[in-house]
């Protein structure tokens, strides 16, 4: 097959198609991961803002807010003061910190591939900018496993379709 011209074209075409797939898939996974983490930050910020409206909330409501946001802890820095807004017990130590305030494309790709091929049940810390300039920064701690599950599940949403993520995680 390699001795014929058509065989060589077939192999060359296959190599270029596979290369194109990788060049499309890898940035797509990185962007999906960034969108997923930014969504978690936004949800956590909304949960924290509910506490700013009323200083005292019941422990049950606090746990419900954290569960809805998909995080364990929310820290908000406003007016140069870092404040733990919502908290719960961590299932383990924080293994890594990801700063989404100004990420580079290569950093996003590296982190996405590490997440995709990691098998550890890790707790990560994510730092980002609050939406609507509602503070200087927001930090959350969360599990990384749901993100990996969404990426490796065959019926997972196409990157950009985050509204289906809860359906995929809850179905497993």
Contact 123, 90 (CB under 8 A): yes
Range list of β-strands (E), the chain: 73-78, 81-86, 94-99, 123-128, 137-143
**Kind plus residue range of the DSSP H or E element containing 23:** helix 5-53
**Cα 99 from Cα 7, distance rounded (Å):** 48
pLDDT tens profile 21-63:
888 888 888 888 898 899 999 888 888 887 776 667 788 888 8
Length of the chain: 172
Q: Where are the domains of the chain?
A: 5-151
Contact 144, 124 (CB under 8 A): yes
pTM of the model: 0.73
pLDDT tens profile 87-133:
888 888 888 889 998 888 899 998 888 888 887 788 899 999 888 77
């Amino acid at each position: 097959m390699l001795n014929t011209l058509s065989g060589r074209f077939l192999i060359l075409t296959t190599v270029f198609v596979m290369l194109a797939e990788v060049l499309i898939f890898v940035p797509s996974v990185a962007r999906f991961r960034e969108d997923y983490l930014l969504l978690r930050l936004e949800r956590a910020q909304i949960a924290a803002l509910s506490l700013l409206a009323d200083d005292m909330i019941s422990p049950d409501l606090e746990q419900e807010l954290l569960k809805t946001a998909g995080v364990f802890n929310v820290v908000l820095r406003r007016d140069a003061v870092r404040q733990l807004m919502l908290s719960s017990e961590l299932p383990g130590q924080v293994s890594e910190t990801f700063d989404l305030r100004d990420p580079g494309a290569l950093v996003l790709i590296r982190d996405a591939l590490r997440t995709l091929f990691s098998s550890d049940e890790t707790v990560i810390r994510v730092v980002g900018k609050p939406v609507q300039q509602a503070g200087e920064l927001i930090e959350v701690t969360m599990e990384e496993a749901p993100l990996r599950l969404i990426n490796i599940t065959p019926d997972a949403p196409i990157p950009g379709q985050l509204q289906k993520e809860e359906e995929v995680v809850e179905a497993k």
